[in-house]
Structure 1
Amino acid sequence: MPNYFLYARKSTDVEDKQILSIESQLAELRELAKRENLNIVTEFIEKRSAKIPGRPIFNEMMKKIQAGEAQGIVCWKIDRLSRNPVDSGKIQWLLQQGIIQHIQTHSQSHYPNDNVLMMSVELGMANEYVRQLSENTARGLKHKAREGYFPGLAPLGYINNPQTKKISIHHKNAKTIKKLFEIYATGNSTIEKLTEVLEKNGIKTKKNCRVNISRITFILGNPIYYGHFRYAKEIYEGKHEPIITKELFDRVNTILRRRGRKPDQKSDPRPLCELMSCGSCGMGITGEKKKKKLANGTIRHYVYYHCTKKSKTQKCFELGIREEELDNQLSSLLTQYTMPTEWAEMLGEKLDLEEKQSVTSVQKEIQELKNELEDISQNLSRLTDVYVAQDIERADYLERRRSLMSNKKSLEEKIMQITKTPTMWIEPTREWIKDSQILDEISKTADLPSKKLSLQKIFGSNLILKGREASGNPFSHYAELRSARENLGKKDATLIVVRVGGIEPPSQPWEGRILPLDHTRI
């Protein structure tokens, strides 16, 4: 009497949505075997899809059949055994060779001498069903993405809404995500510290472990948090509620790119690290602790700052500099951008006046931004036409689309900010005046982190160290302030700031400078 293996399979995929549960299959097949007097020696239960080869339980069963432990298979339907041509061919071959002598399903039997056409058609239909289902699913998800709805599992800070089939804000986690971006944007935190922030707010992995560094890095680089999302390597405009602004996202990612590989927290003193780059090779400047034993046995500790020398294309010969000497140079730089008190007072009065007059002047600027936005939309449309016509490689298309989408989002955000607050540049300008006034005071302290923060506001990432000398190109408003001090001196307080460049909406030719009071607008 031949032996039989009972095989029951059901996956969590859509393809098996209508199939009986494992328990139901087992009950039906046991009853079938009893009714047909089939000797079941082993039951095999598998909870994986059959659309790709490599199912471990199925392969184990096939090996046992080839070893002669059983001569037949009992299953609910033939598509339980296979939905791919590789496994289908194996089953048909073993059946034709008589190694499998009988396959019994709930509705029919298959024997070696049967016409193989019917089984081929049945297995082929199972495979084609999976292919069509995969294509239809992919097409549906891509259409959902084009409509602006994220077609996947909601990232941290969002939840999948089962009613709307869209993602919604998870208010508690969203606040934590926003906090991560804001902390890292200061430039005074590390990825490791952000993992602690998540842990303190009760956010851990499914295994109740701390979220790892790579996951934090992925979160900080995910455009879904400012309103766009990636799907199938393309960037789409989302209709979900953003958690952060595009401007905050860009600031964070600028810091991520500048830092690159994370330095060793245990050996790196870090007070002035990630502030400058090497003026010769462009690599970062890092700090390193050194110690020296004097003749009398005393050990002195020093901190040297030097190029990381990580360039793969250029050999760097720049030497290091003692922290004390670098501190003196940076303090001297800060004093050059200090705003005299009398200037600050007069500028404050001028800002009050400008605030009253500027509401109508932004309309032209908004229209210019809208024109730029229209140009980007047209470029996106033309880019798609070129890609459809196969005149451009997919990789090039994706990169250009990503860049255009990023610029589009930045412009939309800027227009929205200007529309809501026509005088939004006023407060940042007042903050700039306030910061500029205390630079001289900060330069006289030993507070290196405060000096670093002030220098980043002045130079951004444009501060270099070359020939053991620190120098850099400041932002335009700080450059104008320094120029005014050099050319006019402290005795001349008749100055006015007209919209600090880089903070406010796009300016007129006369804007973004420190100007004499008798300057006439053109």
Structure 2
Amino acid sequence: MKNYFAYIRVSTVKQGEGVSLEAQKEAITAFAARHNLTITNWFEEKETAAKQGRPIFNQMIKALRKREADGLIVHKLDRLTRNLTEYARIGELIDEGMIVHTAIDSLDVQSRGGRLTAEIQAVIAADYVRNLREETIKGLNGRLKQGFYPFRAPIGYIDNGKGQYKTFDPVRAPLVRHAFELYASGNFSLRVLLAEMQRLGLQSRNGKTLTLTGLDTMLANPFYCGVIHIKRTGKTFQGGHEKLISPALFKRVQEIKSNRCRPKVTKHNHLYRGLFRCAFCNGAMVPELQRGHCYYRCRTPQCLTKCVREDGLSGALFKCLQPFELSDEQIRRAGEIVGKWAASEPDQDGQKASQLELVKLVERKDRLTDALLDRLIEKPEYERRMRRLALEEAQLRDSMANKVTPAKKAERFRRMCERLKSLQTSRELANRMEERQLLEIATANRLIEGQKVMLEPRKWVLETHRAVGVLCGAPASDTERTLSKLFEIADKEGSGLLEASN
């Protein structure tokens, strides 16, 4: 009596929980009994045969090459393999004299006709897989173009089944948003941020501890700002799911990630680290903790600037901004004028301009595709530019969805005035992070010359202070010109200002 191996397979674990494996086993057992064959070993696998590298299959082939059995029995040939590479390995064993039986159709692969039939079946099986793959990809692309993400939801979102958009995970979504905001502040390295998010309880999708690689992948995923990027194909789509963060915040995070060599945090997390430079050599003023006080030193040898204490920098900040404080009466009068302007101002030009920008963006994408087809650019460069354009489109659509109306511009102006209302009070009440943000948003050209601290107020500070003065005593013609200039500045610097002030 000859000894045989038996191989049974299903494509998924779910199929294996049904009757498929048992049915195959029964058919093979009956075939062996009818032909007086002994089955010495069963090889059971729950893997697709479309791809190479099945571990159980490879283990069986290795044993057959060692002649541990006289032959092999399978339910049908497509249970054994669905790709031509692995069928070729079976063909080599057949050429060496190994016997292969199929329990259902009793195919005789030792005969010329049976071998030809088996090879035709192998080609048909491979073509079936290829066609199935193409149809699957076509279906996935169709869903992606509709804004659906037909894959597992990233951290912070939950799956809702087929034909449904991903929605926020009520537990993880706030933590993911917080992670982006912390990293965008520039005060956290990836490792420090990882420790902070682990402390706050952010876990992976499987409920396990978040890893450094997982955090890095999360921060690089544009899905959170409404853009779907398929890494394997390089294609980018506009998602229909709700954005967790703004495209501007995602862009800021990518800019920081691309400059990882710069340290984001120090051992003591000094307040003004990275914000001041030496006026003589333009070198960075490096913080040091000495005898309970923080000093900022220029490390350039023989430089005239030596060191300045941190509390001296805080005093210079107040001295720089104090002249631009606004009174309650000034803010009230200016607010009334701007409110009247907002109520009477038509809001059509901005929407038309956004629509025109969107059309131009689509035209740029079309020209980029034409350039790829004409082989003017390589595919990696094409994919990189398309990702950038997709992000720009997401920002533009986000801007259109949250259109800056005259009323919103007036609100932005009010917040800018509130910031200037009492800078001294803001500085005294602010925590360390808020004081650093105040220095960043309100000052520029921060230099230290010897013992002298030099700061310049930013343009929005100067223009807001000037505009309030004009609005409180100017004729109507000057008022309109003043507002136009002020809101131009608000559009450029106001977004970051509002984020810091909220």
- TM-score (normalizing by structure 1): 0.76
Q: Does 1:106 align with 2:107?
A: no
The match for 1:85 is 84
Q: How does 1:308-327 map to 2 (within 5 A)?
A: 324-325=308-309, 327=311
Higher mean C-alpha displacement, 45-54 vs 467-476: 467-476
Shift of 1:354: 1.1
Higher mean C-alpha displacement, 235-244 vs 318-327: 318-327
Shift of 1:398: 2.0
The match for 1:294 is none
Which of 456, 459, 471 is matched with 1:476 structurally?
459
Higher mean C-alpha displacement, 445-454 vs 82-91: 445-454
Shift of 1:73: 0.6
The match for 1:313 is none
Q: Structure 1 residues 465, 500: CA separation in 2 closer, same or farther (over 3 Å shift)?
A: farther
SS for the counterpart of 2:321 is coil
The match for 1:28 is 27
Which of 322, 330, 338 is matched with 2:322 structurally?
338
Which of 374, 379, 393 is matched with 1:408 structurally?
393
- Tell me the amino acid that sits aligned with residue 320 of structure 2: Q
- Tell me the amino acid that sits aligned with residue 328 of structure 1: G
Q: Structure 1 residues 406, 209: CA separation in 2 closer, same or farther (over 3 Å shift)?
A: closer
Shift of 1:305: 5.1
Do the aligned residues in 1 keep the contact of 2:247 with 2:394 (CA within 8 Å)?
Answer: yes
Do the aligned residues in 1 keep the contact of 2:277 with 2:447 (CA within 8 Å)?
Answer: yes
Distance 1:32 1:477 in 2: 86
Do the aligned residues in 1 keep the contact of 2:326 with 2:417 (CA within 8 Å)?
Answer: no
Q: Does 1:431 align with 2:415?
A: yes
The match for 2:119 is 120
Q: Structure 1 residues 218, 321: CA separation in 2 closer, same or farther (over 3 Å shift)?
A: farther
- Tell me the amino acid that sits aligned with residue 418 of structure 2: K
Which of 350, 354, 379 is matched with 1:369 structurally?
354
Q: How does 1:7-406 map to 2 (within 5 A)?
A: 7-12=7-12, 21-98=20-97, 100-115=98-113, 116-164=115-163, 166-185=165-184, 203-205=202-204, 208-231=207-230, 232-257=233-258, 267-273=267-273, 275=275, 287=287, 289=289, 300=291, 303=294, 324-325=308-309, 327-329=311-313, 331-342=315-326, 345-359=329-343, 360-406=345-391
Which of 440, 450, 453 is matched with 1:456 structurally?
440
SS for the counterpart of 2:393 is helix
SS for the counterpart of 2:418 is helix
Do the aligned residues in 2 keep the contact of 1:277 with 1:463 (CA within 8 Å)?
Answer: yes
The Cα offsets for residues 308-357 of structure 1, whole Å up to 9 and x where unpaired, read as 9xxxxxxx989798774355246424532335445663244212221222
The match for 2:498 is none
Distance 1:280 1:408 in 2: 43
The Cα offsets for residues 232-280 of structure 1, whole Å up to 9 and x where unpaired, read as 3222111222233323434444554566566576x34343335468999
Do the aligned residues in 2 keep the contact of 1:319 with 1:468 (CA within 8 Å)?
Answer: no
The Cα offsets for residues 111-143 of structure 1, whole Å up to 9 and x where unpaired, read as 434343222111122222222222222222123
- Tell me the amino acid that sits aligned with residue 24 of structure 1: A
Do the aligned residues in 1 keep the contact of 2:305 with 2:448 (CA within 8 Å)?
Answer: no
Do the aligned residues in 2 keep the contact of 1:167 with 1:240 (CA within 8 Å)?
Answer: yes
The structure with more helix, counted as a fraction of residues: 2
Distance 1:85 1:27 in 2: 27
Q: Structure 1 residues 442, 358: CA separation in 2 closer, same or farther (over 3 Å shift)?
A: closer
- Tell me the amino acid that sits aligned with residue 108 of structure 1: S
Distance 2:452 2:21 in 1: 74
The Cα offsets for residues 19-76 of structure 1, whole Å up to 9 and x where unpaired, read as 9632332233223222332110111112222223322222221221121210111111
CA-based RMSD: 4.3
Unmatched runs of 5 consecutive residues or more in structure 1: 292-299, 309-315, 508-522
Distance 1:108 1:217 in 2: 55
| Sequence identity (%) | 25
Higher mean C-alpha displacement, 128-137 vs 195-204: 195-204
- Tell me the amino acid that sits aligned with residue 240 of structure 1: H
Distance 2:9 2:450 in 1: 71
- Tell me the amino acid that sits aligned with residue 420 of structure 2: S
Higher mean C-alpha displacement, 194-203 vs 85-94: 194-203
Distance 1:363 1:318 in 2: 60
How many pairs were matched up? 481
Unmatched runs of 5 consecutive residues or more in structure 2: 495-502
- TM-score (normalizing by structure 2): 0.79
Distance 1:124 1:457 in 2: 67
Do the aligned residues in 1 keep the contact of 2:333 with 2:472 (CA within 8 Å)?
Answer: no
